[in-house]
Structure 1
Amino acid sequence: MLAEHERPPGVLDARVGDKRVREEEEEEDGGMDAARRPRIELAAPQHAWSWRHRQDVLQEGKGTSAAQLSIVAERLLRASGDAEVGGGVKRPRTSATSAEPLPLEWPEVLGRTRGLRNLGNTCFVNATVQCLAHCPPLALFLRGGQYRPTVSIPGAFDAVLALAETVQRVLGGEAVAAAPYTLVRNLRSIGRRFRPGRQEDAHEFLLLLLDAVSRTLAGTPPSPLRVHGGDRARQLKAEADTIVYDIFGGTLRGTLRCLRCGLQSVSHERFLDLSVDIESVSSVDKALRRFTAPERLCGSNQCDCAQCGERGDAEKQLRVESVPNVLVLHLKRFLGVRKNSKMVSYAPTLDLQSVLVGELGEVAAPVQNTRYRLFGVLVHEGASVHSGHYVAWVKDTNGAWLLCDDERVSQVGEASALQQQAYVLFYLRVPAREDSHVEGSSSRNVE
């Protein structure tokens, strides 16, 4: 199927909350303010520098605007919980969170997987939903009937019920393809820029759908409102305490160090997925190594140091501080109108041990439960952003691999699932009892 793209997929390299705030800032303020340089602050455990813009801003020689600083402030609010390396994020149990430990495997084999009808350029919805439907902790929560709507507004869109209904049909065992009517009818409630009948970016849809589910679970408005101060902080805290962050949430630690005097600033950022560059790498392992490698900021990218009192070279680095239960890896294949169609190898298992941060900012000592198994591969077929089609390879509840192409679902071998031009990869954390780390081995996957 060919579909015109009015906006290049994959261009928005930001978390869901960032996209939402950026849209609001641009609409209200008419664009970004005058640029300001990143600053290394004395005794600042969380500095006001956007690590998600490390390449989009710094490498282009741009600074940090007031609008971006407001985005960072929201990130810091989301990251206010206590984190523990390798153990996920501790948070109090609420009505929006799972009452039991998250299941990291299927308790039983369910019925056959159903395909999803294409309702007019909706392959991006179908492929994304298939990956989410085959994510055990999310699918079991949606099928378990644990959710109770906290707000009842006639005619209001409930993202949890809409996704639960679709997932139930996908895993319902019937032979006839289902139709994701509720999700498609409410595309604009999920993302304000989405338009029915127009092909959209599956990665952006994934993040905005998870954001809508999280906001619904938290009882915050289905559409982002201009709420400031304490009310906004409470909204963000409630959204970050939902099962969405229990499942997909991890934490990054960013450091920015002045190379003249050694002053270092540290930030902590929650994430629902990791977006990695593939321009000069051949494997996902190498892309992750590059994502967490130190980078020198010099020339027009120099930073202002509070201790030195002047601009100078600096070094910045990201590392994983706490790992998610489900790891979503976004391979950045789109740059403007150009698509990078290179093959990037990925394995059926992945270990994040080598990219964890340690106590002093170094590679962490071996910890348990940092290994993952692949269960979903979302693929964009097409030569450019102007046309294409989305399909998904998913692991069924019986362990078999399936190719989901809209209405058509067929069983394939694992080799087929591992030889695709992957756009988004979905990895499920190995249960702790199965983890078999060998003491002292911390870079099993990385070449």
Structure 2
Amino acid sequence: MAKIRTIFKQHPAHQNTGNGPTPANSDKDAVLPVLSTADAKKFGLENFGNTCYANSVIQALYFCAPFRDLVVQAIEVPQLPNQTINSATSSPTLGTPSTPATTSVPTIDSMPYSPSKPPISTTPIPIPPHPPTLFSALRSLYAHISTNPAERGTVAPRAFIDKLKEVNEIFRSTTMHQDAHEFLNFLLNKIVEEIEEDKRSVQQAKEKESLVNVDDLSNSVTTSSTSGISPHDATLVHKLFEGVLTSETRCLTCETISSRDESFLDLSIDIEQNSSVTACLRQFSASEMLCQKNKFFCDSCCDLQEAEKRMKIKRLPNVLALHLKRFKYQEDLQKYVKLAYRVAFPFELRLFNTVDDAEDADRLYELFGIVVHIGNGPHHGHYISIIKTLGSWLVFDDVTVSPIAEADIPKYFGDPAGSSSPNSGSRSRSQHQ
């Protein structure tokens, strides 16, 4: 379980999503002051003992503007009659009054993404100490940062970390190092789970009210039976990060091709010495022979046959997260080791390993976030994130935020010699602690 991650956003669709600086008025000679925006915030996050794995991912997700904006725009669902609901509903801006308790309470995913600047405020939105869900903990943290009148400072994500430990015992230890990639996957899936649970709660409340208020009881029952929302009917996580892989298997006897689809929120790719992300993606989709003990059962032949298998991308995600597998189990050592291979990654990327009829197959992704593991092995080390915002690259190292030249980023490609060195960290969007 090697970790290294790079985060790419679709270019230019998710570029400058409405949070850029306010342009000066060209009709006046004087240059107007530029208001602070969410993308301009340079806040470090306090470390509560081996929590750099969470800090690095939280920072990377914050600067994924569509994700941050959808999270921040969410508000708590108000109480419905005889039903207490902790849910995420969508609001055009922070501070919009809560939706009245009616039978048509919108959920966050029922409204289109509309980037908006945080309201001008003299004080930041406070962080509640006991959030009801992990999603609400993340929302209040992002709202606090994005509405802060200052552009620099330090924030203590205590409420988020406490909630994380509450909902998952794996993250409760203050001495054991955690895996940033595993944390990212848990966080995104937990957000999906909480949003869908809130949707079900809202739907149940609506159905209950319909049974009370609608004269035609049978009609209301019919309506409720067909109004369910499928699990993958687009939460904000699925809308942004979900793609679809298809595994194509061709029987070498009858030439029949069978395929199986599976969704993904990130792509985990094996790495090789002195390679590149493009080469690793090519290897990811390389043909694999199924023979001898690994023969494929062909439904057409009704027998085990030799076959050729290949993995391709059927649907591209709007935000692409790549995970470079730098931690590998070595049989001879009987333990996991870190692969400090040098793997170059581009600042812009097109995915070539798509199916022939993939929609918008030529879309261009622009790199904006990298989570780096610094250390010699999977059980010790440190995580930082390198993020591009408003045209500049910054290093977020817990409470420290500092600029980095784009020309210096290749230093994080890894060790050319392939040995484990303190600076041979991973690069990508999520990694080890």
| TM-score, with length taken from structure 1 | 0.64
Is 1:119 equivalent to 2:119 in the alignment? Answer: no
**CA deviation map 1:201-246 (0-9, x unaligned):** 0001001101111111222699xxxxxxxxxxx9993355201110
Structure 2: distance between partners of 1:281 and 1:249: 30
Q: Deviations over 1:268-324 (max 9, x none)?
A: 111100000103560000111111121111122112223323322111111111111
After the TM superposition, which of the residue ranges 274-283 and 242-251 deviates more from structure 2?
274-283
* Secondary structure class of the residue paired with 1:176: strand
Q: 2:142 aligns with which of 154, 160, 167?
A: 167
Point out the more displaced range, 285-294 or 238-247.
238-247
User: Are the equivalent residues in 2 in contact too, given 1:334–1:385 (CA < 8 A)?
Assistant: yes
SS in structure 1 of the partner of residue 343 of structure 2: coil
The aligned counterpart of 1:237 is 230
Number of the residue aligned with 2:428? 425
Q: Structure 1 residues 246 and 424, CA, compared in 2 at 3 Å: closer, same or farther? A: farther
1:170 to partner: Cα distance: 4.1
Preserved CA contact (<8 Å) 1:345 1:419: no
**Aligned counterpart, 1:355:** 353
Pair member with larger Rg? 2
CA distance in 1: counterparts of 2:255 and 2:169, whole angstroms: 44
Q: Does 1:401 align with 2:376?
A: no
Supply the RMSD in Å over aligned alpha carbons.
3.1
The whole-number CA distance in structure 2 between the counterparts of 1:369 and 1:148 is: 40
- Cα deviation, residue 147, structure 1: 6.2
SS at 2:154 equivalent: coil
Instruction: Work out whether 1:106 is the aligned partner of 2:17.
Output: yes
| Counterpart Cα distance in 1 of 2:285 and 2:319 | 19
AA in 1 matched with 2:408: S
C-alpha separation in 2, matches of 1:182 and 1:287: 39
Output the CA distance in 1 between the equivalents of 2:49 and 2:228: 35
Query: Whole-Å Cα distance in 2 between the matches of residues 323 and 298 of structure 1?
Result: 31
Say if 1:190 and 1:208, in contact at 8 Å, map to a contact too: no
Aligned 8 A contact 1:130 1:404 in 2: yes
Q: What is the SS of the residue equivalent to 2:156?
A: coil
Q: Percent identity?
A: 33
Paired residue for 2:86? 152
For residue 195 of structure 1, what is the aligned residue in structure 2?
172
Question: In structure 1, which of residues 113, 117, 137 is the aligned counterpart of residue 66 of structure 2?
Answer: 137
Tell whether the 8 Å contact from 2:374 to 2:426 is kept in structure 1 after alignment: no
Q: Distance in 1 between matches of 2:326 and 2:198?
A: 33
Once the 2 structures are TM-superposed, how far is the Cα of residue 196 of structure 1 from its aligned partner?
3.5
What are structure 2's unaligned runs of at least 5 residues?
5-9, 22-36, 79-83, 88-129, 201-226, 330-335, 415-424
Return the offset for 1:189.
5.0
Contact in 1 for aligned 2:289/2:306 (Cα 8 Å): yes
Deviations 1:177-218 (A, max 9, x none): 111112211224554533231321000100110111111122
**Given residue 105 of structure 1, which amino acid in structure 2 is its aligned partner?**
N
How many angstroms apart in 1 are the aligned matches of 2:374 and 2:262?
32
Instruction: Classify 1:280/1:304 alpha carbon distance in 2 versus 1 (closer, same or farther; 3 Å).
Output: farther
CA distance in 1, matches of 2:291, 2:360: 35
Q: CA deviation at 1:409?
A: 0.2
More strand by share: 2
Are residues 409 and 170 of structure 1, via their aligned partners in 2, closer, same or farther at CA, if it must alter by over 3 Å? Answer: farther
Q: 1:157 deviation in Å?
A: 3.7
Q: Secondary structure at the match of 2:66?
A: helix
Report the secondary structure of 2:139's partner residue.
Answer: helix
Q: 1:395 to 1:415 in 2, by over 3 A?
A: same
Question: In 2, Cα distance between the equivalents of 1:379 and 1:333?
Answer: 11
Deviation readout 1:376-434 (Å, 9 max, x if unpaired): 010011111121100000112x221000000000011112234314645359xxxxxxx
Q: Which amino acid is 2:142 matched to?
A: V
1:410 maps onto 2:344 in alignment: no
Deviations 1:81-112 (A, max 9, x none): xxxxxx9xxxxxxxxxxxxxx85433224243
Equivalent position of 1:182 in the other structure: 159
Q: Deviations over 1:242-276 (max 9, x none)?
A: 01110101111111121112222111111100000
Query: Which of residues 117, 122, 128 in structure 1 aligns to 2:57?
Result: 128
Runs of 4+ in 1 over 6 A off after TM superposition: none
**Shift, 1:143, TM fit:** 2.4
Count of residue correspondences = 313
Say whether residues 1:346 and 2:350 are aligned partners.
Answer: no
TM-score under structure 2 normalisation? 0.66
Q: How does 1:202-351 map to 2 (within 5 A)?
A: 202-219=180-197, 237-279=230-272, 282-336=275-329, 337-351=336-350
Q: Which runs of 5 or more residues in structure 1 are unaligned?
A: 1-7, 12-86, 88-101, 223-233, 428-447
Task: Give the deviation of 1:10 after TM superposition.
Answer: 4.9
Mapped partners of 1:121, 1:152: distance in 2: 30
